[in-house]
């Protein structure tokens, strides 16, 4: 959570600028995420997102006191967010049978909400003065590093024997940018009915 950072630092750093930069970078990355997923595949896309988060946090921590460094760190962290937050549907589709998709998606999405809750609670309880900001970032960097290393060694993009549904989903992702829209307006109505 950026809340403790923005409220403790004085000068040119405000919550508005940090959050705005994070959200703009996240929006740009969201538009690029399907192409990234198609090009890198599920595993490498998630690992890239985790690595960008780790680098962004490190830049924030290393540049404490430098407004530009915080901005760059938040931009990098913003670029990371969609790369691991748009992928749960692909993980669920690849790893679980169709009759379990709904339950697993609920679990994955609730896990995301718990992560957000955890970050806000940690920020609130770990940062009470400006001198707590660097240790706060160090704690988050440690958690991000452990998660990244665990993902490198344990996260697979697909089960050893992919299901037919898995193959179909990955083919659809690969074909996102090669599909052509129909030339005639009536073709659109026929395609979506």
Residue whose pair of structure tokens reads 């940062």 in the numeric block: 127
How much is the pLDDT for 188?
A: 41
Per the CB < 8 A criterion, the answer to whether 169 and 94 are in contact is: yes
How much is the pLDDT for 33?
A: 87
Full DSSP string of 83-146: HHHS-HHHHHHHHS-GGGHHHHHHHHHHHHHHHHHHHHHHHHHH-SSGGGHHHHHHHHHHHHHH
CA distance 2 to 148: 21
How much is the pLDDT for 48?
A: 93
Full DSSP string of 13-46: --HHHHHHHHHHHHHHHHHHHHHHHHHHHHHHHH
How much is the pLDDT for 27?
A: 92
Q: Going residue by residue through the chain (193 aa), what tens digit of pLDDT does each one get? A: 555 555 555 555 666 778 888 889 999 998 998 888 888 888 898 899 999 999 998 888 887 667 778 888 889 999 998 887 788 888 888 788 888 888 888 888 888 788 778 877 877 887 777 778 778 888 888 988 998 999 899 888 777 766 666 556 556 655 554 555 445 444 444 443 3
64: its two tokens: 């404490």
Look at the pTM and tell me if it is higher than 0.75: no
DSSP character at residue 181: -
184: left (phi > 0), else alpha (psi -120 to 50), else beta?
beta
CA distance 146 to 144: 6
């Amino acid at each position: 959570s950026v809340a403790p950072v923005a409220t403790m630092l004085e000068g040119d750093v405000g919550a508005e600028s940090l959050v705005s930069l994070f959200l703009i970078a996240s929006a740009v990355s969201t538009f690029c995420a399907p192409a990234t997923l198609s090009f890198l595949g599920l595993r490498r896309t998630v690992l890239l997102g985790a690595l960008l988060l780790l680098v962004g946090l490190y830049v924030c921590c290393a540049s404490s006191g430098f407004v530009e460094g915080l901005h760059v760190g938040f931009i990098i962290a913003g670029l990371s967010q969609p790369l691991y937050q748009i992928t749960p549907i692909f993980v669920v589709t690849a790893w679980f049978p169709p009759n379990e998709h709904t339950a697993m998606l609920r679990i994955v999405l609730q896990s995301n909400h718990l992560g957000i809750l955890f970050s806000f609670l940690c920020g609130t309880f770990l940062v009470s003065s400006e001198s707590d900001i660097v240790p706060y970032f160090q704690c988050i960097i440690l958690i991000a590093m452990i998660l990244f290393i665990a993902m490198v060694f344990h996260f697979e993009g697909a089960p050893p024997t992919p299901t037919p549904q898995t193959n179909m989903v990955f083919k659809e992702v690969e074909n996102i940018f090669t599909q052509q829209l129909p030339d005639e307006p009536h073709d659109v109505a026929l395609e979506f009915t």
